[in-house]
Structure 1
Amino acid sequence: MLDLNILTQALGDLEEDQVIELLKEFAATNPSENEALEAVAACQRGMAIVGDLFENGEYFIGDLIFAGEFLTEAINVLKPSLGSGATKVMGTILLGTVQGDLHDIGKNIFKSMSEAAGYEVIDMGIDVKVEIFVTKAKEIKPQIIGMSGVLTLAIESMKETVDALKAVGVESKIIIGGNPVTKESCAYVGADAFTTNAAEGIKICQGWE
């Protein structure tokens, strides 16, 4: 029988080989969908450990990227046991780097960690024009809209985008992230929350449920 605590800790320790071996052995026992979902939840708790260690400075950006990638690999091992229901979707996040900014590392880490936490993420990429954010938000009605930017000019683009979204009645929660983002700029932009690291951003999103 799979020890969920060992699985959680192994993922938190970034022991990829151990995690995949544990899950392959588990999958070979033909587990029920509920048992497979418990294993996914254990993996997600491991991802939370990774996030905490990153916040504490013990893990770095590369560790977050690696953890997100191999968590996806871990869930793929379990997919045959998860049936058509797959994992419970926590909600939809519409994500993009705002107009005028071409940086995507932070956005991509946030995307990986959001998906690992059970969110469906619609990633529009980089240099996303205001009208694209608005059109897509009206189309899919996401619970959360995430805007990323590294350049200081991104703050103005974020404000323009938030103003445009509110003007057409979009009611999604809005979180902004990136190096230039502060409490003051969050208030200026009109977003609901801000973050400078992906792990904290996931916690904020989970708190909105």
Structure 2
Amino acid sequence: MSKIEEVKAKVEIGKSKLVPGLVQEALDEGNKPEDILQAMVDSMSVVGEKFSAGEIFVPEMLIAAKAMSKGVDVLRPLLAGDGASSLGTCVIGTVAGDLHDIGKNLVAMMIESAGFTVVDLGVDVPADKFVAAIKENENVTLVACSGLLTTTMPALKEAVATIKASGLNVKVIVGGAPVTPEYAAEIGADAYAPDAGSAAVKAKEIVA
């Protein structure tokens, strides 16, 4: 098994103590930081698929995400000088009236590891706060809005409408348990993602 494959396997099962060392060994072998990062992103996509299929649950997903973030810490200095954060800044938050943050935190980790700088506004974020954050931070290219409750669907709609009405040139991605691709399209979002793994893939697609 190559070092990259080992990194991939250990991220998938959440071995956060082993991943940094394996990432370093993979670098020492001459693998490119981007390729190692991609292997970890692929690994998290597998984790995301297993989560969506009900084969694993939130704790396992969080453990894998933590392992990946430890690996990303080793790569970050090498990627930063390489313009890997050229995807810009992503502002993320859970919409007004909603206090759920596990899903949002996973998405933030995944989007950051995909090459964005992440500004996390936390939970219960009013629509105008998203707009303020776009203006306050440099090179914001993406806003990710999460809603986990059916009752906060109107707040999600308002957040997207407010961001779009601001005239700021950003893409908006939405997600959360009650959100569907149809609803995302109806409220004017640029993309919808069912889970953290696909959120990272979609984020890159719509910004690129």
- TM-score norm. by structure 1 comes to 0.82
Between Structure 1 and Structure 2, how many residues are aligned?
204
Read off the aligned partner of 1:88 and give its amino acid letter.
Answer: A
1:125 Cα deviation from its structure 2 partner: 0.7
1:25 Cα deviation after fit: 4.3
Following superposition, the deviation at residue 87 of structure 1 comes to: 7.0
Q: Retained in 2: the 8 A contact 1:37–1:87?
A: no
1:176 aligned partner: 174
Choose from 81, 88, 101 the match for 2:84.
88
Aligned to 1:14: 14
Please say if residues 4 and 23 of structure 2, whose CA atoms lie closer than 8 Å, have aligned partners that are also in contact: no
User: Map of 1:68-107 to 2, 5 A cutoff?
Assistant: 68-79=65-76, 82=78, 85=81, 88-89=84-85, 90-107=87-104
Once residues 66 and 16 of structure 2 are traced to their aligned partners in structure 1, the CA distance between those partners, rounded to angstroms, is 10
Residues 1:87 and 1:66: Cα distance change in structure 2 (over 3 Å): farther
User: What percent identity do the matched residue pairs reach?
Assistant: 34
Q: Which of 104, 128, 145 in structure 2 is aligned with 1:131?
A: 128
The structure with the larger Rg is 1
- Per the TM alignment, residue 176 of structure 1 is displaced from its structure 2 partner at its CA by 1.3
Letter matched to residue 196 of structure 2: A
Query: How far off is 1:161 after superposition?
Result: 1.9
Distance 2:194 2:75 in 1: 32
- Cα distance, 1:17 vs structure 2: 4.5
CA contact (8 A) 1:96 1:123 kept: yes
Partner of 2:119: 122
* TM-score, scaled relative to structure 2: 0.82
1:199 & 1:84 partners in 2: Cα distance? 22
> How far apart in 2 are the matches of 1:98 and 1:5?
38
Q: What stretches of structure 1 of length at least 5 have no aligned partner?
A: none
Deviation per CA, 1:172-203, whole angstroms, max 9, x where unpaired? 11111112212343234221222332222222
Which consecutive residues of structure 2, in runs of 5 or more, have no partner in the other structure? Answer: none
Q: Contact between 1:134 and 1:164, CA under 8 Å: does it hold in 2?
A: yes
Q: What does 1:140-151 correspond to in 2, within 5 Å? A: 140=137, 141-151=139-149
CA contact (8 A) 1:155 1:185 kept: no
SS of residue in 2 equivalent to 1:125: coil
How far, CA to CA, are the matches of 1:87 and 1:151 in structure 2? Answer: 37
Q: Aligned partner of 2:84: which letter?
A: K
